[in-house]
């Protein structure tokens, strides 16, 4: 197990973002001014956070300095974690505040500071999130959940159920923007594992009027699995609020009731996939008249041309027609330039935005490697002799492939060799998919082969190893890497700042080129494992990654 590193994150600083304005359209995301007032930066960071689907983790926590402690806090978990309990903080030093202060003066953008501070505290190169706010609404980043005026029931859910202690960086920055009237739209990018889910889940829960027994918050996700996972987080966090919620995903294909039609939805919060939501709306089984918040998780994909753009826009327009002021929240770890431009045009003019430069998007806690494999047979041998043998004690592993066929073939090859692995892809029945995911989440299976079905958002903290059996490439131009998918895949390891390793299998000259392009794009230098045939080389790599 690796260590549990606990991330921490935190943003502590409070920065206020002044407004900078901007029209989004024109300035892409260049933030404009923002100053930061850093008020206090005080504490070291500790984040706690959330569960999310993705984001960057921070690392370590240090806690010694903790100023306040709430009595209600139960255990401390750090960055996002929900589940895990291992934890051990590492100490980061509370670094001298002066240093921090010094840095602070320098900055320009808001959230940047938060990161700088954090940098000193824990994670060495942390990411900077650039914020661009519109209008003159001032926002102060939240150093504690109390700063957010959440209901006591919701706070209890955060501390008792989620075991969060304080907001992670993205939470500290985005929550005030989400919860402060006037409720502006938000486009938010944050690292894998940093706690984005908590941001929009809290946003949905806190904006629901408990007295109105009709749907008031809707969250659209790219897969059935992610919808279910997000609903579970919401139900846990909102346990004491009494707010009702429901999943709107395709019904069990169970033989028995296909005929029985789905009943109308009255839950106050609805989370689901685009097709089902669209259908429910057209059948008038999902009323959007009281909708206050519309969330798109993995928003870049949901609004991409080759993603769910049509369904997403349709849903968005149907809601806005009845409710022009419905707040739209877009979250993802990735937003390529094209999508970024597109989404900033479809949200309201006075929206706020948070972005992270692509060069700062890779998680430092997750070490990336490439392994030259002469042919397909070698790839299987590497999986068998290196990964399955060595990896057993390292936590769980996800092996990504590009096609369902590839998934099936690899699965068969490994099973024939006597290994226990499970495989998931969209051609399986919903029941089988649910079962495979549950077994993996329960830790009953160690190695999971998957298509990009699980590339995004899947949150299983025990995953320390990710294998790109096939490198992700663009469908239209297979010689080009699919940068976003790559980032999402590797983000399945290193949740919340934990350590992890990624092995990219490079079989052809084309693959080598793809890895080069990936390095260039993200500003990384993925190291090569000298020989696929050397157990020692893999051990060194894993040791370097902190897994051995």
Partner DNA sequence: AAAAAAC
**Which residues in this chain contact DNA in the complex, by CB under 7 A?**
222-225, 249-250, 272-277, 279, 301, 306-308, 402-406, 425-427, 451-453, 455, 475, 485
The residues with which 269 forms a beta bridge, in sequence order, are 217, 245
Q: What minimum distance in Å lies between the beta carbon of 90 and DNA? A: 36
- Whole-number Å distance between alpha carbons of 223 and 53: 13
Query: Cβ atoms within 10 A of the Cβ of 320, count?
Result: 17
Q: What minimum distance in Å lies between the beta carbon of 18 and DNA? A: 38
Q: Is 340 helix (H, G, I), strand (E, B) or coil?
A: helix
Closer of 186 and 286 to DNA (Cβ) = 286
Q: Which of 422, 429, 494, 483 is nearest to 458 (CA)?
A: 494
Q: What minimum distance in Å lies between the beta carbon of 318 and DNA? A: 15
- Whole-number Å distance between alpha carbons of 202 and 13: 21
Q: What minimum distance in Å lies between the beta carbon of 484 and DNA? A: 9
- Whole-number Å distance between alpha carbons of 218 and 177: 18
Radius of gyration of the chain (CA): 22
Closer of 36 and 231 to DNA (Cβ) = 231
- Whole-number Å distance between alpha carbons of 402 and 182: 44
Closer of 327 and 423 to DNA (Cβ) = 423
Q: What minimum distance in Å lies between the beta carbon of 380 and DNA? A: 18
Closer of 180 and 309 to DNA (Cβ) = 309
Taken in order 227, 230, 236, 241, is the CA torsion positive or negative? negative
The residues with which 352 forms a beta bridge, in sequence order, are 186
* HEC profile of 454-474: HCCCCCCCCEEEEEECCCCEC
Q: What minimum distance in Å lies between the beta carbon of 513 and DNA? A: 19
- Whole-number Å distance between alpha carbons of 489 and 253: 28
Closer of 23 and 252 to DNA (Cβ) = 252
114 with 172: CB under 8 angstroms?
Answer: yes
179 — phi, psi (to 5°)?
-95, -5
Q: Which of 295, 303, 301, 278 is nearest to 233 (CA)?
A: 295
Closer of 94 and 273 to DNA (Cβ) = 273
Q: What minimum distance in Å lies between the beta carbon of 60 and DNA? A: 33
**Structure token digits, residue 364:** 């430092």
Closer of 236 and 262 to DNA (Cβ) = 262
Q: What minimum distance in Å lies between the beta carbon of 118 and DNA? A: 32
Q: What minimum distance in Å lies between the beta carbon of 275 and DNA? A: 2
Q: What minimum distance in Å lies between the beta carbon of 401 and DNA? A: 8
Closer of 54 and 452 to DNA (Cβ) = 452
**Cα within 13 Å of Cα(360), Cβ side:** 18
Closer of 366 and 449 to DNA (Cβ) = 449
Closer of 27 and 428 to DNA (Cβ) = 428
Q: What minimum distance in Å lies between the beta carbon of 223 and DNA? A: 4
Q: Look up tokens 């299983």; give the residue.
A: 460
322 — phi, psi (to 5°)?
-90, -20
Q: What is the DSSP string of 118-185?
A: HHHHS-TT---EEEE--TT--EE--SSGGGGT--HHHHHIIIIIS---S--HHHHHHHHHHHSSS---
Closer of 58 and 272 to DNA (Cβ) = 272
């Amino acid at each position: 197990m690796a260590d549990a590193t606990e991330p921490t994150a935190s943003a502590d600083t409070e920065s206020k973002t002044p407004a900078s304005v901007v029209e989004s359209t024109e300035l892409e995301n260049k933030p404009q001014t923002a100053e930061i007032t850093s008020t206090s930066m005080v504490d070291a960071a500790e984040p706690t956070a959330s569960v999310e689907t993705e984001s960057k983790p921070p690392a370590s926590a240090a806690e010694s300095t903790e100023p306040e402690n709430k009595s209600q806090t139960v255990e401390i978990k750090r960055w996002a974690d929900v589940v895990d309990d291992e934890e051990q903080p590492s100490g980061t030093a509370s670094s001298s505040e002066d240093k921090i202060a010094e840095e602070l003066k320098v900055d320009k953008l808001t959230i940047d500071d938060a990161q700088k501070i954090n940098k000193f505290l824990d994670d060495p190169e942390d990411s900077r999130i650039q914020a661009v706010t519109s209008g003159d609404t001032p926002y102060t980043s939240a150093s504690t959940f109390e700063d957010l005026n959440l209901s006591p029931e919701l706070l209890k859910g955060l501390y008792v159920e989620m075991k969060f202690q304080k907001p992670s960086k993205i939470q500290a920055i985005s929550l005030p923007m989400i919860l402060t009237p006037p409720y502006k739209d938000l486009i938010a990018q944050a690292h894998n594992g940093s706690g984005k889910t908590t941001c929009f889940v809290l946003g949905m829960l806190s904006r629901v009027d408990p007295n109105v027994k009709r749907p008031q918050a809707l969250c659209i996700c790219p897969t059935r699995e992610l919808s279910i996972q997000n609903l579970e987080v919401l139900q846990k966090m909102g346990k004491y609020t009494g707010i009702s919620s429901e999943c709107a995903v395709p019904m069990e294909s169970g033989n028995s009731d296909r005929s029985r039609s789905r009943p109308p939805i009255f839950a106050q919060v609805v989370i689901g996939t685009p097709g089902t939501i669209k259908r429910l709306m057209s059948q008038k089984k999902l009323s959007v008249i009281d909708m206050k918040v519309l969330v798109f998780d993995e928003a870049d994909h949901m609004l991409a041309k080759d993603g769910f753009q049509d369904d997403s826009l349709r849903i968005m327009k149907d809601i806005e027609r009845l409710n022009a002021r419905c707040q739209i929240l877009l979250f993802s770890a990735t937003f390529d330039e094209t999508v970024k431009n597109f989404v900033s045009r479809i949200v309201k003019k006075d929206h706020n935005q948070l972005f992270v430069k692509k060069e700062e998007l890779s998680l430092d806690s997750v070490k990336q490697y490439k392994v030259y494999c002469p042919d397909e047979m070698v790839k299987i041998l590497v999986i068998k002799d290196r990964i399955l043998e060595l990896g057993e004690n390292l936590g769980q592993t996800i092996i990504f492939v590009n096609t369902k066929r590839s998934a099936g073939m690899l699965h068969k090859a490994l099973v024939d060799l006597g290994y226990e692995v499970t495989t998931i892809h969209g051609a399986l029945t919903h029941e089988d998919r649910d079962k495979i995911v549950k077994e993996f989440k329960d830790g009953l299976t160690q190695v999971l082969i998957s298509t990009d079905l699980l590339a995004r958002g899947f949150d299983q903290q025990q995953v320390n190893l990710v294998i790109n059996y096939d490198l992700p490439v663009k469908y239209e131009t297979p010689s080009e890497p699919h940068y976003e998918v790559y980032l999402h895949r590797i983000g399945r390891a290193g949740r919340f700042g934990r350590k992890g390793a990624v092995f990219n299998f490079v079989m052809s000259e084309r693959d080598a080129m793809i890895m080069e392009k990936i390095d260039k794009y993200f500003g990384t230098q993925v190291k090569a494992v000298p020989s696929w045939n050397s157990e020692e080389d893999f051990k060194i790599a894993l040791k370097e990654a902190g897994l051995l």
